[in-house]
Structure 1
Amino acid sequence: MAVISGLGLLIASTLSNAQDLPVVGISSTPAQITEGQPMIWTFKLSQPTPKEGLSVTLNLTQDNDPAPGDVKYNAPGSQGIIQSAFTYKPDGSSIQGMKVALAGGVTEAVMVSEVLTDNKAEGPESATFTLVDGQGYQADPQQNTVKLTLLDPQ
């Protein structure tokens, strides 16, 4: 920041403009997944991630079964994903969301997740993850939500 004198004071600064940040969108297929089947999460960015990578945050905004264990995230076949990890509510009682670390230099990353077969008749289990703005990126407001329904095998 610099002070430039003249008729009055003018403060000039160089700040990171939000428009300079990559915009990250998310989608998944399929929307309804039978236990034992994979699902694909696709992260698309408006510009490459920094060389050191980028961690994005997904909040779990709806879940009728917030205990972990139904899905193996970042399974073999994932591309451009360094790791994924759940975040938990402060009391540790249930999942609050997920952090996904994207590799450096990518404009698209794919996370394969395996829906595990538990041989329990549970009925449809639904969850909604919402990508939120974070350090070093903005969430695409048009492509920031993933709604999933896990189904028992027939």
Structure 2
Amino acid sequence: MSGNPVIGKDCVLASFPISGWASPVYSTVENAKNVSQPGVTKNMISLMARSSGGWDLKGAGFKSMDLQFGYLYETEDTVLAMLRDSYVNDTIIGFAVLDGPSDGVHPEGTDAGDAYDVEGWKFAGMVSEFPTGEELEEGKTYDIKVDAARYKLSGTLLLPTWVTIAGTVDAGE
């Protein structure tokens, strides 16, 4: 079975208060542009032994995750204030990088009554880079980098996780 291609403009970067980790209420980061996760990596460690027949066989080491995106600046922007606070004060924010909307609005091209899933990474993050650009013929932007951060909520360490948000398109739409 073949699905439809996912177009970048239909994907969603969302944030949520870290205290709501178990049942997040996602808020779309609407001014995000060119979202990427180039640092979703896993180190591979060598497990060479005489029994490996001359092969340098590998095993899984530590994983890491980051998020990078441009952010279009607007005055009196509460999302930018939240990102700046994370950078300046080491505040932890919940992030979700999703392949579609998490707010119940169905992806374009989905028929009413059809089931659909929205998927992506959910993680606790801290803004680690906050540089700005002021190009002459573009809006002022910030080039944000977020790294997965260590955070315990009620004694539980919050690890990055792949989430699936199930939904059904409302027949009344």
Same fold (TM > 0.5): no
| TM-score of the aligned structures, taking structure 2 as reference length | 0.25
Greater RCO, CA 8 A, separation 6+: 1
> Structure 1-normalised TM-score?
0.28
More helix by share: 2
When you count strand as a share of all residues, which structure comes out higher? 1
